[in-house]
């Protein structure tokens, strides 16, 4: 069975590779490369796979899941400038892809346990753009 | 890893097949068979699959947008699906047919490094059609 929990955070970022010229960054990232940054209301959907526990009837304790999402994602990223305030985006371009991979990295170990695993991270940058990441294949 | 980008276009259509009588068409398609057609604001989700390149992206948003604009939006937006789209000539332009047409228009000579994974089209918020790319 799949369980999906949603969380939101708002953050600013710049998509630019410091080793590239401004012209190349604009060619690759468009206005996302504007040097002073811009922001999004990110929406995160975390999907967990497992079977309901025979005693509690739950795949995962939703209160614990909320705490994990708060600790690992919302608290460190909400109302922050990702490039300046959230590791590893001081040295990794915070594209939607890379932010989703980092969220997966932060969550997988805390969620995975006997019979339960993190299945998918879906990250909406806007209502019209999202990525899905299911771990390294 | 997959990336999904959402696009919108508005188009008109009428559902009617020559294989059935006028009466049978009215019964089968209901209001969708009304003689002068009607329209929808279609929502198209295009999903591609790949690994991030050195830019940290699996696909260039500009390249994907340009491709969908050229092959789909420019041809379908504010057009009549029955009369204006050669691939739909003689085809009942259900959203199923539309999904097949759009998948084929995109997958033919697909120019991007990320693989086309699927298209998903909403005719209205209540009717959604999804087709995996071949």
pLDDT one-digit tens code per residue, B2-61: 999 999 999 999 999 999 999 999 999 999 999 999 999 999 999 999 999 999 999 999
Q: Look up the domain containing B120 and give its range.
A: 2-132
* pLDDT for B134: 84
Tokens of B131: 């087709």
Q: How far is A136 from chain B (nearest CA, A)?
A: 8
Mean pLDDT of A103-120: 96
In CATH, what number is assigned to the domain containing residue B80?
3.30.479.10
Q: Residues of chain A with pLDDT > 90: what percent?
A: 97
Tally the domains of chain A. 1
| Cα–Cα distance measured from residue B88 to residue B115, given in angstroms and rounded to the nearest whole number | 25
pLDDT of residue A91 exceeding 80: yes
Structural domain span for residue A85 = 2-133
- DSSP line for A33-95: G-TT-EEEEEEEEEEEE----TTT--SS-HHHHHHHHIIIIIHHHTTEEHHHHSTTTTTS---
Nearest residue to B116 via CA among B56, B79, B54, B71? B71
> Is B13 considered catalytic here?
no
Any idea what the CATH number is for the domain that residue A123 is in? 3.30.479.10
User: By the 8 A CB rule, do A36 and A115 touch?
Assistant: no
Which tokens belong to A73?
């994602």
Counted domains in chain B: 1
Report pLDDT digits (tens) over B78-117. 999 999 999 999 999 999 999 999 999 999 999 999 999 9
- Which of A20, A33, A97 has the highest number of chain B CBs within 10 A, making it the mutation to test binding with B? A97
Percent of chain B topping pLDDT 90: 99
- Taking the CA atoms of B86, B88, B93 and B99 in sequence, report the sign of the dihedral they define: negative
User: H/E/C letters for each residue in A94-108?
Assistant: CCHHHHHHHHHHHHH
Percentage of chain A lying above the pLDDT 70 cut: 99
Residue A137 has pLDDT above 80, yes or no: no
Q: Coil, strand or helix: which one is B27? A: helix
The DSSP output letter for B69 is I
C-alpha distance from A82 to closest chain B C-alpha (Å):
15
């Amino acid at each position: 069975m799949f369980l999906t929990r949603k969380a939101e955070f708002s953050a600013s970022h710049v998509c630019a590779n410091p080793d590239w010229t401004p012209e190349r960054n604009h060619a690759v990232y468009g206005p996302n490369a504007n040097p002073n940054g811009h922001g999004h209301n990110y929406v995160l959907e975390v999907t967990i796979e497992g079977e309901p526990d025979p005693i509690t009837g739950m795949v995962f304790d939703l209160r614990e899941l909320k705490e994990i999402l708060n600790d690992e994602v919302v608290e460190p990223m909400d109302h922050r400038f990702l490039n300046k305030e959230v590791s590893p985006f001081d040295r990794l371009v915070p594209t939607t892809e890379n932010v989703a991979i980092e969220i997966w990295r932060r969550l997988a170990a805390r969620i995975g346990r006997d019979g339960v695993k993190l299945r998918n991270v879906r990250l909406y940058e806007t209502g019209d753009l999202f990525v899905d990441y299911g771990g390294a294949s | 890893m997959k990336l999904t980008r959402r696009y919108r276009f508005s188009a008109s259509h009428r559902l009617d097949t020559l294989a059935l009588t006028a009466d049978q068409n009215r019964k089968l398609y209901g209001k969708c068979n009304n003689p002068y057609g009607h329209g929808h604001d279609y929502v198209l989700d295009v999903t591609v699959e790949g690994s991030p390149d050195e830019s940290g992206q699996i696909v260039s948003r500009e390249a994907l947008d340009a491709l969908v604009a050229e092959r789909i939006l420019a041809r379908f937006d504010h057009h009549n699906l029955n009369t204006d789209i050669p691939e739909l000539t003689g085809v009942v332009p259900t959203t199923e047919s539309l999904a097949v047409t759009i998948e084929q228009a995109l997958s033919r000579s697909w120019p991007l490094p990320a693989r086309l994974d699927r298209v998903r089209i909403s005719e209205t918020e209540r009717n959604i059609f999804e087709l995996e790319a071949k």
